């Protein structure tokens, strides 16, 4: 029996070491964090139950992995520890109990509580306030020298400013790629057929461990402090919380979320607070760190092989999990777009059970090289729709290719794929029941005609029972038709008819939106209404006139023109108006009288007599729009000294160029 357990332990150790190597050295994790945590726990439990077996050289006793040879090695003078995890309030209480047992007294414990950022741990060494070295954690004892790369991170001070700064001070913290920057980075990477990162942590690690620091400099990274290592020739406060405030006062970045709490209850309240706030934070976190605040108590408790006894990480539900791709369905949207949807073995990720995820389009299927039966990694960041980020493993013996259909799965019409467009579309239009249902759902939605009681299910029933074909048919429905529908009844039918009647009084912008013209969302619908004031003016507008509207470019103008040209759409609009839909008349807004109304300016280069903000405000006060980029819609480019690429682009587009003097004259003339 013991031989079997020893074998099991040896195999788990090998597996975890392989994971460590891929995670720490190659920035290419083989498994999700959740899976890694499970394996490590399994190993720890086996080791704890069998203490007679050798424990040295186990990944439970070390941190991370040995340093990569390409960077100079750095020996940490004070070891960079890792953290043990808890996954529930119960385990948190056990952690506190362990502390009290070890202290051999019951102490009212005060904790410094902090978000656990999902990035890369870094040590910054300041000598006489100057940043002289930055290193990764590596295996906790030896890391890698990444000074040049770290110096490109904008919020890391190269010099500390303030009083009582120890002559040698090592600051520790996490380098992260903020969520918004990560998403933008990946979008650009995908558009350029370059490698996208699985998550912000990989993006941060991959960016920081570049051998060429000019590449790191282009990556939007940020650093947040969470502790100290070396402290020489100087003293810090005796409270961890106060120490972090000292770091902040010397210019080091600290998250806004660091707090002091008492006992398990205080900690668990904070956990709940931050779990709810998770999606609003600008960086990703994977849990909370609770730390005994009193430094004397920390020292009394000490640490075990890889982690301190005075701190613990309370992990949030994992945002990444692995599961199996069971099948792919093809969904037809309102505009006929065909979206492949992954049918997944249900998996708990990011706090919910996920069984479906969009695969977006054929290009995405190709990019992921995904096949049915593959094991895939699902990511669901807080409040974000789940995504398949990569294939973890594929078995060529059973895997099946995903075949994109040639005909619509609902109406069997042909599917067209326009060159340069990623999206395939059903050509069935309103002949396609799927498109009819979606059009009716969209028409009735809150932001459009706001018909209460006409949700997804009812819209589907109405189409399936052939009671309606177009949104205009909604206004001819009778209670006799509605009452027999499943889960309807007399009361609901009456309410629905009342809501339909009520929706007749609307606003032009909402009506435009409800028509479901491709790429005309809320903002564009409002701009169209405000610009043209009447429906007939929009219907008759030429491309040139449409292009004058904010947000309307060539493609949107083309969609608007094409929509109103279709006889079928004209008939539906007429039927809707005949049914009694109406809206208050609109008037030109006062702003339209301003002298620079409808004129778009771009400011570039250095302005000498006024700064850019002043120039922008002066122009806007006269009704102009000041944009950050040059396009065909730009009317004037104001070129200050040393104007660069924007000036060249404006010249190429034939945009009128103004000098600073011209601008001042223009402002004076228009002002007087």
Residue pair 522/576 in contact (Cβ under 8 Å)? The answer is no
Considering only CA atoms, which of 535, 644, 627, 622 is closest in space to residue 583?
535
Among 65, 82, 149, 207, contact with ligand 5U1 (rule: CB under 6 A) = 82
Closer residue to ligand 5U1 (CB): 291 or 510:
291
- Residue 83 found at the interface with ligand 5U1 (CB under 6 A): yes
Considering only CA atoms, which of 484, 513, 670 is closest in space to residue 583?
513
Among 9, 81, 171, 433, contact with ligand 5U1 (rule: CB under 6 A) = 81
Among 35, 47, 114, 660, contact with ligand 5U1 (rule: CB under 6 A) = 114
In this chain, which stretch among 81-89, 189-197, 275-283, 441-449 interacts with ligand 5U1, using CB under 6 A?
A: 81-89
CB of 29 to ligand 5U1, least distance (A): 18
The C-alpha atoms of residue 63 and residue 61 are separated, in whole angstroms, by 7
Strand 600-604, strand 636-639: pairing: parallel
Catalytic residues: 116
Residue pair 201/284 in contact (Cβ under 8 Å)? The answer is yes
For tokens 């934070």, the residue is 281
For tokens 């029933």, the residue is 461
In this chain, which stretch among 79-87, 188-196, 314-322, 632-640 interacts with ligand 5U1, using CB under 6 A?
A: 79-87
From residue 403, give the alpha-carbon distance in Å to each of 57, 342, 359, 363, 413: 48, 13, 13, 12, 17
Closer residue to ligand 5U1 (CB): 227 or 386:
227
Pattern 311-340, ligand 5U1, x by CB under 6 A: x-----------------------------
CB of 594 to ligand 5U1, least distance (A): 51
CB of 288 to ligand 5U1, least distance (A): 8
Report helix, strand and coil shares of the chain as percent, to nearest 5: 40, 20, 40
CB of 305 to ligand 5U1, least distance (A): 13
CB of 268 to ligand 5U1, least distance (A): 17
Residue pair 425/336 in contact (Cβ under 8 Å)? The answer is yes
Closer residue to ligand 5U1 (CB): 13 or 116:
116
Among 119, 227, 340, 428, contact with ligand 5U1 (rule: CB under 6 A) = 227
Closer residue to ligand 5U1 (CB): 10 or 304:
304
For 609-651, the DSSP string reads SS-HHHHHHHHHHTT-EEESS--TT--EEEE-BT--HHHHHHH
Closer residue to ligand 5U1 (CB): 289 or 459:
289
Closer residue to ligand 5U1 (CB): 178 or 308:
308
> 438 by DSSP, 3-state: which?
helix
The C-alpha atoms of residue 272 and residue 255 are separated, in whole angstroms, by 18
What letter does residue 294 receive in the DSSP assignment?
B
Q: Contacts with ligand 5U1 in 120-179 (CB under 6 A)?
A: 121
CB of 350 to ligand 5U1, least distance (A): 20
Give me the residues paired with residue 135 across strands: 123, 145
- Residue 226 found at the interface with ligand 5U1 (CB under 6 A): yes
Q: Which two tokens stand for residue 287?
A: 């849990």
Closer residue to ligand 5U1 (CB): 19 or 226:
226
Q: Contacts with ligand 5U1 in 278-317 (CB under 6 A)?
A: 289, 291, 308, 311
> 325 by DSSP, 3-state: which?
strand
The C-alpha atoms of residue 148 and residue 324 are separated, in whole angstroms, by 42
What letter does residue 474 receive in the DSSP assignment?
G
- The site for ligand 5U1 (CB under 6 A) is made up of 81-83, 114, 116, 121, 226-227, 289, 291, 308, 311
């Amino acid at each position: 029996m013991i031989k079997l357990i020893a074998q099991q332990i040896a195999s788990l150790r090998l597996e975890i070491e392989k994971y460590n190597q891929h995670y720490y050295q190659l920035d290419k994790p083989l498994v999700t964090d959740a899976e890694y945590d499970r394996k490590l726990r399994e190993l720890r439990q086996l080791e704890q139950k069998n203490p007679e077996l050798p424990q040295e050289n186990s990944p439970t006793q070390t941190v991370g992995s040995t340093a990569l040879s390409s960077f100079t090695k750095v020996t940490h003078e004070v070891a960079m520890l890792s953290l043990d995890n808890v996954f529930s309030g119960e385990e948190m209480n056990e952690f506190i109990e362990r502390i009290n047992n070890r202290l051999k007294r019951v102490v009212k414990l005060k904790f410094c509580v902090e978000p656990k950022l999902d990035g890369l741990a870094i040590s910054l060494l300041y000598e006489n306030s100057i940043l002289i070295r930055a290193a990764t954690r590596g295996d906790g004892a030896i890391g890698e020298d990444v000074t040049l790369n770290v110096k490109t991170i904008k919020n890391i001070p190269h010099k500390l400013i303030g009083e009582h700064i120890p002559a040698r001070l090592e600051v520790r913290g996490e380098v992260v790629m903020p969520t918004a920057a990560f998403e933008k980075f990946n979008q650009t990477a995908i558009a350029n057929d370059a490698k996208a990162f699985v998550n912000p942590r990989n993006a941060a690690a991959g960016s920081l461990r570049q051998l060429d620091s000019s590449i790191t400099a282009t990556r939007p990274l940020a650093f947040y402090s969470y502790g100290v290592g070396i402290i020489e020739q100087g003293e810090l406060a005796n409270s961890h919380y106060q120490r972090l405030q000292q770091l902040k006062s010397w210019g080091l970045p600290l998250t806004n979320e660091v707090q002091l709490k008492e006992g398990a209850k205080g900690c668990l309240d904070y956990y709940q607070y931050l779990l709810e706030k998770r999606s609003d934070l600008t960086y990703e976190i994977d849990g909370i760190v609770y730390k005994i605040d009193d430094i004397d108590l920390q020292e009394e408790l000490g640490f075990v092989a890889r982690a301190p006894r005075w701190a613990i990480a309370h992990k949030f539900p994992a945002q990444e999990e692995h599961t199996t791709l069971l099948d792919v369905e093809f969904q037809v949207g309102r505009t006929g777009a065909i979206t492949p949807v992954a049918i997944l073995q249900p998996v708990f990720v990011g706090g919910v059970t996920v069984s479906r995820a969009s695969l977006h389009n054929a290009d995405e299927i190709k990019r992921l090289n995904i096949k049915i039966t593959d094991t895939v990694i699902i990511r669901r960041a807080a409040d974000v729709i789940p995504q398949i980020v990569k294939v973890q493993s594929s078995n060529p013996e059973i895997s099946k290719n995903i075949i994109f259909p040639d005909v619509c799965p609902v109406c069997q019409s042909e599917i067209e794929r326009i060159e340069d467009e990623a999206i395939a579309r059903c050509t069935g239009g309103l002949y396609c029941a799927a498109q009819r249902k979606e059009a009716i759902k969209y028409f009735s939605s809150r932001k459009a005609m706001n018909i209460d009681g006409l949700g997804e299910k009812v819209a589907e029933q109405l189409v399936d029972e052939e009671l309606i074909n177009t949104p205009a048919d909604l206004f001819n429905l009778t209670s006799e038709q509605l009452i027999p529908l499943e889960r309807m009844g007399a009361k609901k039918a009456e309410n629905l008819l009342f809501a339909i009647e009520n929706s007749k009084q609307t606003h032009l912008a909402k009506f435009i939106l409800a028509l479901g013209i491709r790429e005309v969302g809320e903002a564009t619908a409002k701009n169209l209404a405000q610009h043209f004031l009447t429906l007939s003016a929009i219907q008759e507008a030429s491309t040139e006139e449409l292009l004058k509207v904010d947000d309307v470019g060539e493609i949107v103008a083309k969609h608007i023109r094409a929509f109103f040209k279709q006889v079928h759409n004209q008939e539906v609009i007429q039927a809707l108006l005949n049914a009694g839909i109406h809206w208050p008349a609109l008037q030109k807004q006062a702003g339209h009288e301003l002298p620079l109304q409808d004129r778009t300016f771009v400011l570039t280069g250095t302005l000498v007599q006024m700064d850019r903000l002043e120039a922008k405000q002066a122009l806007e006060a006269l009704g102009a729009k000041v944009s950050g980029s040059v396009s065909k819609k730009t009317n004037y480019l104001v070129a200050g000294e040393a104007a660069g690429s924007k000036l060249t682009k404006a010249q190429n587009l034939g945009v009128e160029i103004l000098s600073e003097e011209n601008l001042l004259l223009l402002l004076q003339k228009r002002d007087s």
